Amino acid sequence: MIENMGKGRTWVLSGPESSYALHLTDADELVHLHWGARITAADAEALAAQGPPPYWPFESQLDGREEYPVEGGPRFARPALSVRTEDVRGTEWVFDGWVAEDDELRLRFTDALAGLGLTLHYRMRDDSDVIERWVTVVHEGTGPALELLRADAAAWTLPMRDAWRLSQLHGRWAAESRLVRSALTYGEKIIGSRRGHTGHQHLPWVALDAEGATEERGEVYGCALGWSGSWRISVQQLPDKAVQITGGAGHDDSGLLRLEPGQTYTSPVFAGLWSDGGFGGASRAWHAWQLAHVIPGAQEARPVLYNSWEATGFDISEQQQLALARRAAGIGVELFVVDDAWFGRRTSDRAGLGDWTPNPDRFPDGLAPLAREVHGLGMRFGIWVEPEMVNADSDLYRAHPDWVQHHPGRVRTEFRNQLVLNLAREDVRDHLWEQLDALLSSAPVDYVKWDFNRCFTDAGWPGEPYPQKLWTCHVEGFYALLDRLRAAHPGVAFESCSGGGGRIDLGVLGRTDQVWTSDNTDPLDRLAVQHGFSQLHPARVMAAWVTDSPNVQLNGRRSSLRFRFVSAMAGVLGVGGDLTGWSEAELAEARDWVRLYKEIRPVVQHGELYRLRAPEGGLSAVQYVRGGETVVLALLEAQRYGERPPALRLRGIDPAAAYECLDTGVVHQGGVLLHHGLHTGLKGDLDATVIRLRRM
Ligand code: GLA
């Protein structure tokens, strides 16, 4: 809901629980009034009447108050917008009108000297407290190009509080999305990626709380960016303690792109959410919003998949994949995915990327025969691709060495023996479209795992003037290609992968069905990765595989099938072990776990998620609630002193109802589950259990 008042210069956007208010002063300064619990029109007018803080020389009366701080004028805080032409620096805007259309508010400003038109967009939907913000910048003049050095999607202003705490999700390869919390202090905290993709190092999300929010209580502010290229989020605490968060595409202020007259830049969305339900309440609100408005086809359940990567690496063949497929079908897998090495001369990571036709030695009649066999076994068929990359040893690179990102005369850095194609180029995108469209038409493919296995290093485009649009347009080119493929092949589902979780953000989630969370498939390490992931994203997109024990990929840790399955059942279950090496007993046990997963899947993938215990405590537990159904996944790292692990106090339970445990038949009282908890019976090392309760 959008309300307008105060002689038409104050706006209040409201969702189910929260409001957001802004005001335009007589001097056309757009100031922030409120973000938090719902307020009335009278509250907003009273806030607008308060006016600026006292004047002090050496301090700005605008810093920390503006909806979209620009460069120039009496401001010293980090600007969200920085533009220049040959002779103009900074921005001085005048207000040029507003529109409210459905759930979107647009405020338009112009700067005639620079030839700039700027629109701030706000969207708050009726069913969510998430506010989506973005900007469009247009070169409306006829003069020289406008250099867009920085155009953040939004600046978020927090209310004045004594002390803020910052939560972030940091990581690296095989150790993504781990949650850390620290006090926010004066100055600026910057997270981001200078790598051309979202990166393993941070999920583009921050959360701030001021009064010691807990999992279930307290005010939490969160901001998340929807962009799969380089990005930056800056959290500033100004000298008067005001906190402002800016975020957008690009890693520093040195240049996003050039706008020629008539051209427009549209920033990604930087979404914000206020919740007073603690970190858990905030997560559930983020999840609900993504399931309703971001993830395509989110109401459909994701199938149990098998992926051959850890089992077979680069050494694959049709017969070997078929043998795996038979075993996968036998344990109840619903989607069989052939990973790397089915194409070109891809027998190691040294060759073949770029040549997206089946390797004739390995798949003499293409992929269709295997796909049909897989379908015959009752499963869907999927393949791995990495379209944005090329090995120097490939037909594509030999034909088009100039198609990769590079600076003339400089080294073309290789990571994993590969170079990055320049998807900002139309000819490159057209070529990839033809290749991928032909591939998806050549065999009945139902699923594509789209990988991205190195960062940008030499991101140059010879002949293009600076600031070069490559960084931005590569990502837009990737989105456009994906969108076009989805439109042409509506039955195909896509997974976003980047060496595990290197490309997970709200931008890619708007056009993929699930993500590969991490290359780390160790079921214990995975708990912390999943705990962090769930802060922002729902279980419905979080792929997790059961692989071999000892763990092949990373650490050699031994764990039971039970522990591995319960850990992976927290998201979209997959299996990635070498099934040809599993005994009949192991296969039979796996079949039972997959059957159980299918029973709890509606609750896990579409229920509300409650983190009952974080992994660090030794006992980790997550609960899902959907209607009267509840599922608890509990995993014990190590029992100490023979003591019984703590009982799990459940959430989302009706205190007045009784709940039946579907496995034991024991009846539990809701009030007891909420206030005293449920004993799991876990003991020893690496033990795990699934508890299913139904309201009676
Ligand atoms: C990346 C992915 C893996 C696998 C390999 C194949 O590392 O994260 O799952 O697909 O590439 O080369």
Task: Compute the distance from residue 500 Cα to the ligand 1 centre, in Å.
Answer: 7
Residue 253 has pLDDT above 80, yes or no: no
User: Whole-number mean pLDDT of the chain?
Assistant: 97
Q: Which residue's alpha carbon is nearest to atom 11 within ligand 1? A: 499
Ligand 1 atom closest to Cα of 384? Answer: 10
What pLDDT, on a 0 to 100 scale, did the predictor assign at position 252?
Answer: 85
Ligand 1 atom 12 nearest Cα: 340
pLDDT reported for residue 376: 98
CA of 554 relative to ligand 1 center, distance in Å = 13
Instruction: Report residue 524's pLDDT band, with 50, 70 and 90 as the boundaries.
Output: very high
Q: Is 519 marked active-site?
A: yes
Q: What is the mean pLDDT of residues 151-156?
A: 98
User: In the predicted model, is pLDDT for residue 254 greater than 90?
Assistant: no
Task: Output the pLDDT for position 186.
Answer: 97
- Minimal CA–CA distance to 493: which of 512, 515, 509? 512
Catalytic residue of the set 63, 355, 451, 505: 451
Q: What is the pLDDT of residues 595-625, one digit of tens each?
A: 999 999 999 999 999 999 999 889 999 999 9
At 506 the three-state DSSP class reads helix
| 86 or 181, greater pLDDT | 181
What is the C-alpha to C-alpha distance for residues 164 and 266, in angstroms, rounded to an integer?
A: 31
Q: Which DSSP string do the residues of 95-130 spell out, in sequence order?
A: EEEEEEETTEEEEEEEETTTTEEEEEEEEE-TT--E
Report the greatest alpha carbon distance in the chain: 79
What Å distances lie between residue 384 and 30, 71, 171, 500, CA to CA?
48, 45, 24, 13
CA of 511 to the centre of ligand 1 (A): 20
- If you average pLDDT over residues 187-204, what whole number do you get? 97
Cβ pair 642, 651 in contact under 8 A: no
Q: Which residues pair with 188 in a beta bridge?
A: 236
The answer, yes or no, to whether residue 448 has pLDDT greater than 90, is: yes
Query: Which pLDDT value is given to residue 168?
Result: 98
Q: Which of 45-54, 175-184, 653-662 has the lowest mean pLDDT?
A: 45-54
**Marked catalytic residue, from 152, 446, 519, 687:** 519
Instruction: Evaluate if residue 492 carries a pLDDT over 80.
Output: yes
Residue 128 pairs with which residues in a beta bridge?
none
The whole-number pLDDT of residue 617 equals: 83
Cβ burial of 68 (10 Å; 0-12, 13-18, 19+) is: buried
> Tens digit of pLDDT for each residue in 380-417?
999 999 999 999 999 999 999 999 999 999 999 999 99
Q: What is the pLDDT of residue 143?
A: 87
User: What's 456's DSSP letter?
Assistant: -
Confidence (pLDDT) at 531: 98
- Strand 389-391 relative to strand 447-450, pairing: unpaired
Tens of pLDDT, residue by residue over 78-128, are 999 999 998 999 999 999 999 999 999 999 999 999 999 999 999 999 999
Number of H helices, E strands in the chain: 13, 37
At residue 313, the 3 state secondary structure works out as: coil
How many Å apart are CA 272 and CA 38, to the nearest integer?
A: 15
Alpha helix ranges (H) inside 166-317: 278-293, 309-312
In percent, how much of the chain has pLDDT > 70? Answer: 100
- pLDDT-based confidence at residue 255 (cuts at 50, 70, 90): confident
Q: Which atom of ligand 1 is nearest to the CA of 314?
A: 12
Domains of the chain from N-terminus onward: 67-293 (2.70.98.60), 305-607 (3.20.20.70), 613-695 (2.60.40.1180)
Give tens-digit pLDDT for 295-338: 999 999 999 999 999 999 999 999 999 999 999 999 999 999 99
Measured in degrees and rounded to the nearest 5, phi and psi for residue 362 equal -95, -35
Using the structure block, give the residue that is written with the tokens 């014990």.
Answer: 636
Angstrom distance (rounded) from CA 514 to CA 494: 7
> Ligand 1 center to residue 350 CA distance, Å?
14
Q: Structure pTM?
A: 0.98
> CA 529 from chain center: how many Å?
13
Instruction: Tell whether the model's pLDDT for residue 7 goes beyond 90.
Output: no
- Residue 365 annotated as catalytic: no
With a pLDDT cut of 90, the percent of the chain lying above it is 97
| 305-307 and 572-575 strand pairing | parallel
Rounded distance, CA 124 to CA 146, Å? 31
- Ligand 1 pocket test, pick from 339, 415, 552 with the greatest ligand atom count within 8 Å of Cβ, gives 339
Which residues have CB under 6 Å of ligand 1?
309, 339-340, 384, 451, 453, 497, 499-500, 516, 519
- Quick count: other Cβ atoms within 10 Å of Cβ 337? 26
Could you identify the atom of ligand 1 that is nearest to the CA of residue 497?
8
User: Which of 314, 385, 497 best tests ligand 1's pocket when mutated (most atoms within 8 Å of CB)?
Assistant: 497
- What is residue 227's predicted lDDT score, i.e. its pLDDT? 98
CB 541 within 8 A of CB 572: yes
Closest ligand 1 atom to Cα of 339: 10
